[in-house]
């Protein structure tokens, strides 16, 4: 063969090598079920052909693999349709009726997207395999399956009151519910996947379980990030809750999803995205202030806690919190059960629920933000503190006349700056991770990271004036000044006096 012909033949072979490499990688991707879709999401070819397609109003089309459909199509997971994501917020924001069911699907999808993107960029060096992907997706899907009725009110307000401060967490119950679902429905799943998924769900709590292995710790950062609080659970609920409440959301999680990178077994973010990360935490704090701890929402929550407390003896709600086979049967419909029951034992609880329906709510009297220098040693204020601050008057208050709510609003790390726990990298050629002091970014960033807002309510309209005055007296006695910004409006006092 002439030399020129040999040269052309060799050149053709070299030109064909990238094509061969691509075809081989495509074959591997198809075999492992990790081929990218043309719309930008990293779902598998197998997903598209054999999975169930669900249309989500936030993320578009979500594909559920057959193994995850086995969990979704159980009565325990379907129960999440009857748990509103925001509990009682829809009593103030009527659009906030979305459920934990759709939120769980959203977290499943974002968890899948996150682990697939990491694999696409760093899969070989990190050794991400099919079991890792399945585990992360399972944790995202089932992270809230142990939630009780009315969002966090059940575990943070109701149970501590009736069980004398007993600590119960929905994460712990989620772990137990996973085992219960697998056993009850005979779902065949890798035991290691099941074990690690449970560890990922509880990874952000103070009672996080010891992790199975010391490698691939970055996988535990995806669903419930205990290191710095940046996880797909927050990504989903911030955008979903904002949209449902008719509020704008300036935080764009896609930017962080696109640029995250694993360095030394930890998910890190580009230094250029510092303000995007800050906006995540700031958006969360803003949602807490304007939505989750809205003064009227808290008034309704206080009434529901009182109603559940009065109903507990008859309905034996607390007897169900340690038994998955009983627990999955309680949801938000318990309020309707109380309201429509003719049982005499539920009369007091029923009266409170009917007051909520008629908008005869506990009356917000006033609030103040705890001074910064008092936060470290702040002791919770009780109705007794308010009653004991009352001076002589025509009405003598009793503890049962007053309700107190203490709203804690922070950036996920209490009085600490959460960005101190976030690791950044300079560019994609860099192998170093580092923290960034906020003063190097902007002098407009906050220097303090927590608020505690004390609100006081009168349980009857005619007591607003007496409770308001006692609340002011408490502030003068405790802080030597009136800490509240505004006085209780005179027209509110008069309206309530006339309504009595």
- What are 1-41's pLDDT values in tens digits? 555 554 454 444 444 443 444 344 444 444 444 333 333 33
Q: Which residues contact 59 (CB under 8 A, 6 or more apart)?
A: 106, 109, 110
Give the least confident one: 62-71, 206-215, 325-334, 349-358. 206-215
Which tokens go with 291? 């939505």
Residue 359 is predicted with a pLDDT of 96
Residue 447 is predicted with a pLDDT of 81
- The mean per-residue pLDDT over the stretch 185-197 comes to 97
- What are 197-256's pLDDT values in tens digits? 999 999 987 555 556 655 799 999 999 999 999 999 999 999 999 999 999 888 889 999
- State whether the Cα torsion 432-435-439-442 is positive or negative: positive
170 is catalytic: yes
Q: 428: pLDDT confidence band, cut at 50, 70 and 90? A: confident
Residue 55 is predicted with a pLDDT of 96
- The mean per-residue pLDDT over the stretch 346-362 comes to 98
CB atoms within 10 A of CB 257: 15
Residue 495 is predicted with a pLDDT of 60
- What are 15-26's pLDDT values in tens digits? 444 344 434 444
Which tokens go with 287? 């949602």
Interatomic CA distance for residues 153 and 455, integer angstroms: 17
Q: How far out from the chain centre does Cα 489 lie?
A: 35
CATH architecture of 362-410+452-500: 2-Layer Sandwich (3.30)
- What are 273-285's pLDDT values in tens digits? 999 999 999 999 9
Residue 209 is predicted with a pLDDT of 53
- The mean per-residue pLDDT over the stretch 367-391 comes to 93
Say if residue 440's pLDDT is above 90: no
Q: Which residues contact 330 (CB under 8 A, 6 or more apart)?
A: 148, 149, 317, 320
Residue 40 is predicted with a pLDDT of 36
Mean pLDDT for the chain overall: 88
Question: Of 235, 253, 289, which is closest to residue 450 (Cα–Cα)?
Answer: 289
Question: Of 499, 487, 497, 494, which is closest to residue 365 (Cα–Cα)?
Answer: 487
Pairing of strands 424-425, 266-270: parallel
Say if residue 132's pLDDT is above 50: yes
Residue 33 is predicted with a pLDDT of 42
Q: Which residues contact 388 (CB under 8 A, 6 or more apart)?
A: none
Interatomic CA distance for residues 499 and 494, integer angstroms: 9
Residue 493 is predicted with a pLDDT of 66
CATH number of the domain at 45-295, please?
Answer: 1.10.3210.10
Residue 208 is predicted with a pLDDT of 55
Pairing of strands 363-369, 450-458: antiparallel
Residue 122 is predicted with a pLDDT of 93
Residue 2 is predicted with a pLDDT of 56
> Which of 98, 170, 278, 294 is the catalytic position?
170
- Cα dist from 455 to 71, 361, 407, 467, whole Å: 42, 15, 8, 11
- Is the entire prediction scored with pTM above 0.75? yes
Residue 290 is predicted with a pLDDT of 96
Q: Which residues contact 460 (CB under 8 A, 6 or more apart)?
A: 363, 401, 500
- What are 49-84's pLDDT values in tens digits? 788 999 999 999 999 999 999 999 999 999 999 999
- The mean per-residue pLDDT over the stretch 456-479 comes to 95
Residue 5 is predicted with a pLDDT of 52
């Amino acid at each position: 063969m002439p030399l020129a012909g040999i040269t052309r033949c060799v050149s053709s072979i070299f030109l064909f090598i990238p094509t061969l490499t691509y075809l081989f990688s495509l074959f591997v991707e198809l075999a492992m079920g990790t081929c990218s879709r043309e719309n930008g999401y990293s779902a598998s070819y197998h997903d598209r052909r054999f999975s169930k397609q669900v249309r989500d109003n936030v993320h578009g089309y979500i594909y559920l693999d057959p193994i995850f459909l086995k969990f979704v199509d159980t009565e325990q997971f379907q129960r999440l349709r009857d748990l509103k994501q925001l509990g009682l917020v829809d009593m103030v924001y009527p659009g906030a009726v979305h459920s934990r069911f759709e939120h769980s699907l959203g977290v499943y999808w974002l968890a899948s997207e996150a682990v697939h993107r990491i694999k696409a960029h760093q899969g070989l060096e990190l050794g991400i395999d099919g079991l890792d992907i399945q585990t992360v997706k399972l944790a995202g899907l089932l992270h809230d399956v142990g939630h009780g009725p009315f969002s966090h009110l059940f575990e943070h307000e109701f149970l501590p009151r009736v069980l004398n401060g007993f600590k119960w967490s929905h994460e712990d119950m989620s772990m137990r519910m996973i085992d219960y679902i697998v056993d009850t429905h005979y779902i065949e799943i890798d035991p290691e996947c099941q074990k690690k998924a449970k560890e990922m769900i509880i990874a952000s709590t103070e009672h996080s379980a010891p992790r199975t292995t010391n490698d691939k710790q970055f996988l535990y950062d995806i669903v419930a990030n205990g290191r710095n609080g940046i996880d797909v659970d927050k990504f989903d609920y911030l955008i979903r809750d904002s949209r449902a409440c008719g509020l704008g959301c300036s935080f764009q999680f896609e930017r962080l999803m696109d640029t995250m990178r694993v360095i030394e077994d930890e998910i890190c973010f580009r230094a250029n995205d510092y303000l995007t990360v800050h906006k995540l935490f700031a958006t969360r704090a803003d949602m807490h202030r304007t939505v989750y701890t809205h003064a009227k929402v808290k008034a309704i929550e206080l009434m529901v806690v009182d109603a559940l407390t009065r109903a507990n003896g008859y309905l034996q709600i607390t007897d169900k919190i340690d038994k998955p086979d009983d627990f999955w049967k309680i949801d938000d419909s318990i309020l309707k059960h109380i309201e429509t029951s003719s049982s005499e034992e539920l009369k007091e609880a029923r009266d409170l629920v009917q007051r909520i329906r008629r908008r005869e709510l506990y009356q917000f009297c006033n609030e103040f933000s705890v001074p910064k220098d008092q936060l470290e040693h702040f002791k919770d204020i009780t109705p007794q503190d308010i009653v004991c601050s009352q001076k002589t008057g025509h009405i003598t208050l009793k503890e049962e006349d007053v309700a107190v709510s203490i709203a804690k609003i922070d950036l996920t790390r209490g009085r600490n700056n959460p960005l101190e726990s976030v690791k950044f990298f300079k560019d994609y050629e860099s192998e170093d991770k580092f923290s960034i002091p906020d003063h190097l970014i902007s002098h407009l960033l906050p220097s303090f990271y927590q608020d505690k807002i004390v609100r006081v309510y009168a349980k009857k309209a005619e007591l607003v004036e007496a409770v308001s005055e006692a609340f002011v007296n408490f502030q003068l006695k405790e802080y030597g000044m009136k800490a509240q910004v505004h006085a209780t409006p005179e027209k509110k006092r008069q309206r309530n006096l006339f309504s009595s």
